[in-house]
Amino acid sequence: YPTNCGIHLAESNFQTRSREHPQNTCCERGKRQMKHLLNQLKQYKKESILAPLFKMLEALFDLFVPIVVADIINVGIGNQDNRYILQRCGVLVLLAVIGISCSFTAQFFAARASVGCATRLRHTLFSHIQTLGYSEIDTMGTSTLITRMTSDINQVQNGLNMFLRLFLRSPFIVFGAMVMAFTIDVKIALIFLIAIPVLAVIIFGIMKITSPLYKTVQERLDKILGITRENLTGVRVVRAFGKEHSETERFETANGLLNSMQLHVGRLSGLMNPLTYVVVNLATIAILNMGASRINHGMLLSGDVVALVNYMSQILIELVKLANTVVLLSKALASLNRIEGVLETASSMKFTEGNGSLKNRNNITKSRNRIPENQNTAFHMEEAVEFQQVSLTYAGAGEESLTDISFCAQKGETIGVIGGTGSGKSSLVNLIPRFYDATSGQVRIMGKPIAEWGREELRTSVGVVMQRAQLFAGTIRSNMLWGNPDATDEQIWKALEIAQAAEVVRGKPLGLDEPVEQGGRNFSGGQKQRLTIARALVKQPEILILDDSASALDFATDAALRRALGTLAGKITVFIVSQRASSLKHADQILVLEDGQIADKGRHEELLERCDVYREIYESQFKKGEVH
């Protein structure tokens, strides 16, 4: 089934919504993009108001500076009044101190709002990802989700910070300088009226062109992250097959595409500064030309011309800042669109309301602990799991992975699942805890359709040990408590004994409190598999699924594990997925899969007689006629 397929879900979702709802205009799309960001900003109303307010105050004091300088030239220098010059210089220092104080205050509030908002947005995104089904996660791909959780949210944070600091200050300075110019000389101020619209066209025109290109840059960054992640997780395989050179070439190709796109966007964005400088410098030349003429006619003082040039310089500086802010905002909006694409992706899997609360989960755990061990829990029904003509097609797949699967597992039975690679073994057992929904047919758990089970209710009743053993950073004890936070040490040790992991834990200096590194790096493959089986047993599930989870165990340990699991007969229903026929020969029922269909089902002896597929698997592992 598809994983890390690189489908850009945000774009495809928008296209689908646009076809279904023609009224979805660009404006409405923009509102949807900002919805979650604005919801997070509501928690920082005070900071979001104070940051631009203090920036506006700083800008206001900056606008007074050219007037003071004009007074120094016109009055102080013109009249050779040193005292007046010193007084006005003191005013300049005071304006600078007040301005920098306002700037620091604005930066504090802007940083607090942007970092806090990004933190809450990241929490919201992470929580939403936890609600998505396997189908949505498979479709989007792990590398894309990691990029959106890290790089994209950082882009949004930087864009929001610059927006609060500069996006209001810069226009205020631009229009404030134009107003101040009109107070000095109306005729010369008309130059400002011409220069400002031209500058706006340049800035926002480039922004419109570069905004979609930044989205492409982020998508290519996703691919880079996917290749890097794949190589890091599969580094042993790469080296074992001597594929370092080809993998390096593959990375360089993807990195070259990213580099070329970044250069292309950089060249377009780089046009902004020279174009704005050209316009502002031409305007400055015009001001000096007209100002010199009006000074000769006695209509203007030299200090006033200096003030007008200073205002034009302020406009230039602020427009350069605004241009850089626009670039950052373009990146932030592209990233925000990708984040919104994930947040607007609803899980295709709907669970019954009211059964998934933590309170209900605790009640289930407590009620289980009160029931004697010789009694079945949950529902007093004979059937534990029933498949009724079940078929499964993964999202984006052209063919069915499972076709017309029907069988019934009674409570307390051990069910074996065997078949060749790609026959659909994992797909079958993944339908029991409802990691995926059947495309057609029905799965029933304890006599009740699986769609009627609450999320926590179902996941508490079904324990799963995945193909790839996964431990989490912490201690052995913290890993064991995942399924049942209220489990006692006695229950943990009992589960470890059954999983053949007790000796592993006793051999550690700290026992249950032995540290576990991320991914269980400080344990071998067999140790990790035994610990993950123990973790599932601590959960005390009604149904236990072992999805090829003993592949790293030697035959002796595997046999001991099966004998220990046999002591649980009548208490839980066990599904064992394995490539080893010897691991399944004592099962109450064995399902033989071939190309997503059940080739046959029955006990070991029956299948050896009548099922060619099972006999071929068995004889490939043991000599023909050998008894085991």
Contact by Cβ (8 Å): 404, 391 = yes
Whole-number pLDDT of residue 168: 81
Cα–Cα nearest to 121, from 164, 147, 157:
157
Structure tokens at 589: 């029922």
- Residue reference for tokens 């994983």: 3
Write the pLDDT tens digit of every residue in 127-155: 999 888 888 888 888 878 888 888 889 99
Structure tokens at 30: 């923009």
Write the pLDDT tens digit of every residue in 364-395: 444 444 333 433 344 444 788 999 999 999 88
Helix (H, G, I), strand (E, B) or coil at 371: coil
Structure tokens at 381: 């029904």
Which helix (H) or strand (E) segment is 291 a member of?
helix 272-296
Write the pLDDT tens digit of every residue in 433-476: 988 889 999 999 988 899 888 888 888 889 999 888 889 999 99
Whole-number pLDDT of residue 582: 84
Whole-number pLDDT of residue 563: 87
The span from the CA of 181 to the CA of 170, in Å, is 16
- Residue reference for tokens 């928008």: 14
- Give the distance from CA 364 to its chain's centroid: 32
557: how many CB neighbours lie within 10 A of its CB?
17
Contact by Cβ (8 Å): 459, 360 = no
5: how many CB neighbours lie within 10 A of its CB?
14
The span from the CA of 136 to the CA of 190, in Å, is 58
Helices (H), 42-81: 45-71
Contact by Cβ (8 Å): 327, 269 = yes
Strand partners of residue 577: 417, 547
Whole-number pLDDT of residue 6: 35
Whole-number pLDDT of residue 468: 85
Our CA angle for 476, 477, 482, nearest 5°, is 100
Residue 127, C-beta contacts closer than 8 angstroms, at least 6 positions apart = none
- Beta strand 440-445 with 383-392: parallel, antiparallel or unpaired? antiparallel
Write the pLDDT tens digit of every residue in 86-127: 998 999 999 999 999 999 999 999 999 999 999 999 999 999
Cα–Cα nearest to 429, from 400, 471, 462, 399:
462
Write the pLDDT tens digit of every residue in 507-522: 989 999 999 998 888 8
Helices (H), 132-185: 134-140, 142-147, 153-162, 169-184
The span from the CA of 98 to the CA of 126, in Å, is 42
Cα–Cα nearest to 436, from 469, 471, 470, 405:
405
Whole-number pLDDT of residue 17: 40
Whole-number pLDDT of residue 197: 86
Does residue 569 register a pLDDT over 80?
no
Place 14 in a pLDDT band, splitting at 50, 70 and 90. very low
Helix (H, G, I), strand (E, B) or coil at 585: coil
Going through 439-487 in order, the beta strands assigned E by DSSP cover 440-445, 448-449, 462-465, 474-475
Structure tokens at 364: 């289930």
The span from the CA of 583 to the CA of 577, in Å, is 9
Least confident of 173-182, 206-215, 309-318, 354-363: 354-363
Q: Return the HEC string of 589-607.
A: EEEEEECCEEEEEECHHHH
> What's the first-to-final CA gap in the chain, in angstroms?
35
Whole-number pLDDT of residue 248: 92
Our CA angle for 418, 423, 428, nearest 5°, is 75
Cα–Cα nearest to 306, from 325, 326, 284, 321:
284
